[in-house]
């Protein structure tokens, strides 16, 4: 018998990994998925299942749906439910009706990794559904009819006003609503700024030697040549900026290595932009999540005429919302609007109104505060677990954000990634983020997205990560 949910979670590998799908509604799909997990032996006899409330939250279904699914499977004999010991897989889980099986079973389809520690997404089970719904309802009730006509490419005034106030308060951004343009996220902002034949920015563009490959590809597809700025302990070496016309930086929390851009470098890059007529594109992708001291304000606040500030809700709410904003120097506003087109064709006007309400009602702040506490607690658990079980690994970049970088000895990255895969852990290595043309020495490490798993899957994911990092897990096939 397995004694606690946490123990069993570790034993079975994180959460239940159910993917309810198929005909008949959510309840029927969940029953099928649970039944199959027991029948196939993936959930062993005796395994304690999470409380139905946690299961409902993780899968994004109503509590009644999860409770009904458990009740149905208890009735069928697959599960048992006893006061005080929760719901468990029946000891001799056998179907009440004989299962229809063909004699030779086809092998189960290959499963993906069981523990998702890939950086990039916030905890999807924490999306503030109730608050979003309340904001959406209010926005819809109050919206004048013109909302349902073609949208203004600048974005709804309500949202631009709410953001102007919020960004000043939370990020030290200095602007007014006329300089804010709504877009569908950072990637969209890059496309608008560097639209081929557009009137806004052209290459060459300096980028950090480590960054998102997706963004480099997007720039390359737009015909923008990028040069790579090496990084050191103070952030990007902006003193090496040369003939570029623009520089793309992640000053609050270098992506992915994790440090803030040092104050002297922030001042230096603004000086460079003033002296050379250049512009800084500031990617403030997770600026709200700083744990150990007050947030590092946006560089934009130093000179609103030299910085294009870009943010989105992809880390604070969800990348599925596809809403972001650009805060522009006056001279770029018309060019960006021209690149956007005559009417709003990207960012749902109703979602814009909903976000405006979420921000101005205070619900956005409350959500960010709650998530900051939650992620900080996860960050602390990660640091503690590694100190106890993988003390040879150096943990960096943990003062802020939703991911940490574990530094590894030179040549160890690939073998750690292999060991992680063997433990069912999905992770990125630092090499995946390295600019192909940089001459900066390669750094070995892995990037741990500690915000990604749902709350009750996190312990098992950490456990598997520690197993992968244990020195005995690695060297056999390590080639470097
Ligand atoms: C470095 C970086 N910039 C920006 C973003 C946000 O991108 P988007 O707003 O296009 O979802 C992310 C991911 O969330 C990121 O990792």
pLDDT tens profile 424-436: 999 999 999 999 9
Q: Is 258 a pocket residue for ligand 1 (Cβ < 6 Å)?
A: no
Domains assigned to the chain: 5-112 (1.10.10.10), 129-364 (3.40.640.10), 369-468 (3.90.1150.10)
CA distance 380 to 372: 12
Q: Select from 123, 185, 432 the residue to mutate for testing ligand 1; criterion: most ligand atoms less than 8 Å from CB.
A: 185
Main-chain dihedrals φ then ψ at residue 208, nearest 5 degrees: -75, 145
Q: Which residue has the tokens 């503690």?
A: 384
pLDDT at residue 11 in the model: 40
pLDDT at residue 45 in the model: 81
Please give the C-alpha separations between residue 31 and each of 74, 109, 224, 300, 360, in angstroms, as whole numbers.
11, 19, 51, 52, 41
* DSSP-based three-state secondary structure for 310: strand
* DSSP-based three-state secondary structure for 206: strand
Main-chain dihedrals φ then ψ at residue 97, nearest 5 degrees: -105, 140
Q: Select from 258, 285, 403, 451 the residue to mutate for testing ligand 1; criterion: most ligand atoms less than 8 Å from CB.
A: 285
Q: Is 121 a pocket residue for ligand 1 (Cβ < 6 Å)?
A: no
pLDDT at residue 247 in the model: 98
Q: Which residue has the tokens 């209010």?
A: 138
Distance 187 CA to ligand 1 centre (A): 7
Which residue, judged by its Cα, is nearest atom 9 of ligand 1? 185
pLDDT at residue 6 in the model: 39
CA distance 14 to 50: 11
pLDDT at residue 72 in the model: 78
Q: List the chain residues with pLDDT less than 50.
A: 1-14, 95-109, 475-480
At 146, which helix (H) or strand (E)?
Answer: none
Q: Which residue has the tokens 């976000």?
A: 355
Q: Is 254 a pocket residue for ligand 1 (Cβ < 6 Å)?
A: no
Please give the C-alpha separations between residue 404 and each of 130, 319, 379, 393, in angstroms, as whole numbers.
30, 19, 8, 12
Residues 10/57, Cβ–Cβ less than 8 Å? no
* pTM (2 d.p.): 0.78
310 forms bridges with which residues in the sheet?
283, 326
């Amino acid at each position: 018998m397995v004694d606690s949910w946490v123990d069993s979670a570790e034993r079975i590998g994180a959460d239940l990994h159910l993917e309810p799908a198929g005909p008949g509604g959510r309840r029927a799909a969940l029953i099928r998925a649970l039944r199959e997990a027991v029948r196939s032996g993936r959930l062993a006899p005796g395994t304690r299942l999470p409380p139905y409330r946690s299961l409902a939250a993780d899968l994004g279904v109503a509590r009644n749906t999860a409770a009904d699914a458990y009740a149905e499977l208890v009735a069928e004999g697959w599960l048992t439910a006893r006061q005080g010991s929760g719901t468990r897989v029946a000891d001799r889980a056998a179907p009440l009706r004989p299962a229809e099986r063909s004699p030779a079973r086809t092998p189960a389809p290959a499963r993906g990794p069981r523990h998702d520690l890939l950086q990039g997404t916030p905890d999807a089970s924490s999306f503030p559904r109730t608050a979003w719904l309340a904001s959406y309802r209010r926005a819809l009730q109050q919206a004048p009819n013109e909302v349902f006509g073609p949208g203004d490419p600048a974005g709804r005034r309500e949202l631009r006003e709410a953001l102007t106030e919020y960004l000043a308060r939370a990020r030290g951004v200095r602007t007014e609503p006329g300089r804010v343009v709504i877009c569908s996220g950072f990637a969209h902002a890059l496309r608008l700024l560097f639209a081929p034949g557009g009137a806004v920015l052209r290459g060459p563009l300096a980028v950090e030697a480590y960054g998102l490959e997706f963004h480099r590809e997007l720039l390359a597809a737009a015909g923008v040549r990028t040069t790579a700025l090496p990084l050191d302990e103070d952030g990007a070496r902006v003193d090496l900026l040369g003939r570029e016309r623009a520089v793309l930086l992640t000053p609050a929390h270098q992506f992915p290595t994790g440090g803030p851009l040092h104050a002297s470098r922030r001042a230096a890059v603004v000086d460079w932009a003033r002296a050379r007529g250049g512009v800084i594109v500031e990617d403030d992708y997770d600026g709200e999540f700083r744990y150990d001291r007050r947030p590092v304000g946006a560089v934009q606040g130093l000179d609103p005429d030299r910085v294009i500030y870009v943010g989105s809700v992809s880390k604070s709410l969800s990348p599925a919302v596809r809403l972001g904003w650009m805060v522009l120097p006056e001279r770029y506003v018309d060019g960006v609007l021209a690149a956007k087109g005559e009417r709003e064709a990207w960012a749902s006007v109703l979602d814009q109104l909903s976000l405006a309400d979420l921000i101005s009602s205070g619900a956005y702040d409350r959500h960010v505060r709650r998530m900051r506490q939650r992620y900080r607690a996860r960050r602390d658990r990660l640091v503690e677990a590694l100190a106890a079980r993988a003390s040879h690994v150096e943990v960096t970049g943990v003062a802020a954000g939703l991911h940490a970088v574990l530094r590894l000895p030179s040549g160890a990255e690939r073998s750690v990634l292999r060991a992680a895969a063997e433990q069912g852990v999905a992770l990125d290595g630092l090499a995946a983020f390295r600019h192909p043309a940089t001459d900066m020495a390669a750094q070995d490490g892995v990037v741990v997205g500690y915000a990604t798993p749902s709350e009750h899957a996190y312990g098992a994911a950490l456990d598997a990560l520690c197993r992968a990092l244990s020195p005995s897990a690695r060297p056999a096939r390590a080639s470097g």
